[in-house]
Amino acid sequence: MSPSALSSALLAVAAITLVHAQPDPADPTPLVDKHYAYPSGIPYQVDYNTAALRGPQVGYNICNSTTENQSSMCQTSFVNHIDDFCLWAPPQPNSTIGDTEGQEVAWCTKPGHGTRLIPAGALQGVQLIKTPNYIQIAGFIDQTQINIAASDYGGELDPHGADLRGNPLGGLMYSNAFPSNGGNNDSYQQVIDWTNFMGGNGFCMKVCDPAGQNQQALCQNIYDRLGCAYNAPNNAQKGVFEVCDGDDMSPVGVYTTGGATSTYFQPPESLGPITTVPYTATPAPSSNCVTYSSTSLYTGQPTPSGATASSGASGAKSTASSTNSGASPAKTGGAATMGVSLGAGLVGVVFAMAFLS
């Protein structure tokens, strides 16, 4: 198949599967149905089938001390605690999430997972909320330090995708932080439902408890144009690093008006930019917030690459949005206040992130 024929095929798949995802016949098992005990059950690659339309998987899933450096192609990720989590970001510098969604690799806050490390100072404010059924981490990041182009509004990574093979392809997620794990930090459970928005110098990650309730609604993946503001309502603030308890949010899209409950679905991109959403998402109640200094949380991180990048958090802070709580300095008013994307792309990846505070 020529490159252009391949991309047409992909576009056709994407157009159909924005509504109904369709498995690739060459690899019909959805990523969410691929379950591996940590660590011994994990294969070298979860998604190795070269006959599949997308791919093959660019990295690997067995990650250890020999794979741990800033060129790591590890695609096994973790969300444990505020000092120990990973984000999905591109393997090559100056990439957009939209162009590389199938290839993202794990970037973690601490050594020990066989991955790349988020450089010191890149994280500029993080809020972790632990609810009965999920863990949500949202915050601000100098995204150029994790290979995301400065101007990229980014998009959503999740274990679904048009062909159900995940973005990134074969990306696995584990956690030791759910109650069903019995508080044992050395025992990891695979997280089946998760979502991660990256871009606009911000991020949000939600991982649903594999033994919890309502996972599919709480870690919904069909609102990829609505950004963190709707998918992970939060109170993240620049310069603040905190862990809170919280209630579960209302499932994305579900809202109450005049005493009646309705469900909103994002329109297909063919209908153009989203200009209105019939409700404003607000963070669920939270309590017991404990704040930390970033230097106490994030140790063992490499210094940023690039001669002028060393100003880290404070340098980036001053150039990022200062007039409101939004994450992106480049976003425009209407879109930003709603957290609604204006872009077009293969899977509707462009988004603007509005952190409500």
In angstroms, what is the minimal distance from the CB of 134 to ligand NAG? 17
In angstroms, what is the minimal distance from the CB of 74 to ligand NAG? 8
Compare residues 84 and 104 and give the one whose CB is closer to ligand NAG: 84
Q: Are 168 and 88 in contact (CB under 8 A)?
A: yes
In angstroms, what is the minimal distance from the CB of 279 to ligand NAG? 35
Find the binder of ligand NAG among 41, 183, 258, 259 (CB under 6 A): 183
Residues 63-122 close enough to bind ligand NAG by CB under 6 A: 64, 66-67, 69-71, 81, 83-84, 94
Compare residues 54 and 130 and give the one whose CB is closer to ligand NAG: 130
Find the binder of ligand NAG among 7, 8, 92, 185 (CB under 6 A): 185
Compare residues 2 and 71 and give the one whose CB is closer to ligand NAG: 71
Find the binder of ligand NAG among 15, 26, 32, 62 (CB under 6 A): 62
Compare residues 107 and 355 and give the one whose CB is closer to ligand NAG: 107
Residues 5-24 close enough to bind ligand NAG by CB under 6 A: none
In angstroms, what is the minimal distance from the CB of 56 to ligand NAG? 15
Distance from CA of residue 252 to its chain's centroid?
Answer: 15
Task: With contacts defined by CB under 6 A, name the span among 60-68, 192-200, 253-261, 317-325 that binds ligand NAG.
Answer: 60-68
Residues 124-163 close enough to bind ligand NAG by CB under 6 A: 149
Q: Give contact residues for ligand NAG (rule: CB under 6 A).
A: 44, 60, 62, 64, 66-67, 69-71, 81, 83-84, 94, 149, 183, 185
